[in-house]
Amino acid sequence: MHEDIKAVLITEEQIKQRVQEMGEQLSKEYEGKRVIIICLLKGAAYFACDLSRAMSIPVRMEFMVASSYGNSTSTSGSVAVRLDVADDIAGMHVLLVDDIIDTGLTFAKVKALLETKKPASVKTIAMCDKEERRKNGMHADYVGFTIPDEFVVGYGLDYAGDYRNLPFIGVLKPVVYART
């Protein structure tokens, strides 16, 4: 375990198992459909890639950059889309993938933007769900793990750009983010 981690919340093995289960479920539900995974960078990159490999159906992948955090531990309340999808998604089934749904603001804004592009459907997928922090009633259609209201890092989740590469999801020691 890394010295800045207070506790491991979700192990590497638990992540692998859950991602495999989700990939199998999505493969069944979307069999025979034109599917595109839209990964919200940077946090969802690990999850989206692993999820796509766990799916047995053909999928395309696109990337977007949208954020409401910056280098803070809490949302700014304002969602900025810095990179939109390049592909035409009209008529496709969109799986919008993010590392975490917290307040729900980012998912809601990006989903609304994608719906203007006339896809067949848009479903949201979050690796982690902090339901108790929701501000807008938004719920992900598919969730890997529901987690407590702790500041977590690893498996794509970061603090100021660090810790994404940890193979597990862990609670960051408060002393780490109290320094800044």
Q: For residue range 146-164, list pLDDT tens digits in order.
A: 999 999 999 999 999 999 9
Q: What is the pLDDT of residue 78?
A: 67
Q: In which band, very low, low, confident or very high, does the pLDDT at 69 lie, cut at 50, 70 and 90?
A: low
| HSE-up of residue 26 (Cα within 13 Å, Cβ side) | 32
R_g of the chain, CA atoms, integer Å: 16
Tell me how far apart the 2 most distant CA atoms of the chain are, in Å: 51
Assess whether pLDDT exceeds 80 at residue 172: yes
For residue 79, what is the DSSP state?
Answer: -
Quote the mean pLDDT of the chain.
90
d(CA 145, CA 130): 9
pLDDT of residue 2: 83
Q: Which domains are delineated in the chain?
A: 13-147 (3.40.50.2020)
Residue 180 has pLDDT above 60, yes or no: no
Question: What is the pLDDT averaged over residues 165-171?
Answer: 97
Q: Is the pLDDT of residue 9 over 70?
A: yes
Q: How confident is the model at residue 65 (pLDDT cuts 50, 70, 90)?
A: confident
Q: Which residue type sits at 109?
A: K
As to burial, measured by CB atoms within 10 angstroms (0-12 exposed, 13-18 middle, 19+ buried), residue 91 is exposed
State the catalytic residues: 102
For residue 14, pLDDT over 70 is answered with yes
Both tokens of residue 78?
A: 């304002």
pLDDT in tens, 39-57: 998 999 999 999 999 999 9
Return the top range by mean pLDDT from 5-19, 63-77, 83-97: 5-19
Banded model confidence at residue 17, pLDDT cuts 50, 70, 90: very high
3-state secondary structure of 70: coil
Torsion 108-110-113-119 (CA) sign? negative
pLDDT attached to residue 128: 97
Q: What is the pLDDT of residues 81-137, one digit of tens each?
A: 665 677 889 999 999 999 999 888 888 889 998 999 999 999 999 999 998 878 788
